[in-house]
Amino acid sequence: MKRSELETSSYLNGDCVTIHCTIRVVQTRVEEGKHYVIPIPPSNMSQNFKDLLESEFGSDITIQVGNESFKAHKSILAARSPVFKAMFFGVVGNPNMETVSIKEVNPFVFKAMLLFLYSDEFPETRELSNSDSPCTSTSILHHLLAAADRYDLARLKLMCEEKLCEKITADTVATTLALADQHQCLQLKTVCLNFAAKPKNLGEVMKSDGYAYLEKSCPSLLTDLLKINAAVDK
């Protein structure tokens, strides 16, 4: 600024100059570099609980399923499933029971469910060594999903839904659709309907035993299927 401009400006008051300025202070935290490395292993809680189930250590309940029996821990089952909680500790439950019989689930499926209850992981086939049935076969997944719904295991139910979505074929989709509708699996139901309604799939689907079951027992599902098929054809 020129002196002549300064003398005529409002910044000059007598022999004093008024200066306005803005100051911004940026605080940056300086951290010293770490001089140590402490490796922390991944959690092994899941394996610990599976080992507990396998060892039967401290078990306080024997569950009879078909011709097989399983030893387990009531507190763990109750913590994981509201149904078991009511069975052992509910108003009409019996915390002192030592044996319970379960008839609506086959032994293979129950063992798979039991492994999930203890580990919160989907069971691998190698962990079910007493059976030749692969845990991921469509039929087993159907039964496991039904068991998960019966014992209020939402996470296991969703796991089964996901795996069934990956295994849909023209031969199995109608049966899976009926199961999805029965157990309120909305995502699985939608995937099944969309697959079966495709013109390239519908002919083969209609030849399956599952489709015959839909015709007899689930007419509303057939209506949904044909509506989607009609929309696809347009």
Q: Sorting pLDDT into bands at 50, 70 and 90, what band is 131?
A: low
Give me the mean pLDDT over the 102-109 stretch. 92
pLDDT the model gives residue 24: 80
- In a shared domain, residues 174 and 109: no
Q: Is pTM beyond 0.85 here?
A: no
Choosing from 127, 142, 166, the residue where a domain stops is 166
Choosing from 106, 141, 166, the residue where a domain stops is 166
Average pLDDT, the chain: 88
Q: State in Å, rounded, how far the first CA of the chain is from the last one.
A: 77
- In a shared domain, residues 182 and 129: no
- In a shared domain, residues 113 and 173: no
Of the chain, the percentage scoring pLDDT greater than 90 comes to 67
Give me the mean pLDDT over the 40-51 stretch. 95
> Is 201 a residue whose pLDDT tops 60?
yes
Give me the mean pLDDT over the 6-17 stretch. 70
- pLDDT 10s digits, 46-93: 999 999 999 999 999 999 999 999 999 999 999 999 999 999 998 887
160: CATH: 3.30.710.10
- In a shared domain, residues 92 and 74: yes
223: CATH: 1.25.40.420
Of the chain, the percentage scoring pLDDT greater than 70 comes to 88
DSSP string covering the chain: --HHHHHTSTTEETTEE--------------PPP------PPP-HHHHHHHHHHHTTT--EEEEETTEEEEE-HHHHHHH-HHHHHHHHSTT--TT--EEEE-SS-HHHHHHHHHHHHHSSPPPGGG-TT--S-TTSHHHHHHHHHHHHHTT-HHHHHHHHHHHHHT--TTTHHHHHHHHHHTT-HHHHHHHHHHHHSHHHHHHHTTSHHHHHHHHH-HHHHHHHHHHHHHHH-
R_g of the chain computed on alpha carbons: 32
Residues 6+ apart with CB under 8 A from 115: 50, 53, 121, 123, 127, 128
- Is residue 31, in this structure, part of any structural domain at all? no
> Is 132 a residue whose pLDDT tops 70?
no
- In a shared domain, residues 147 and 206: no
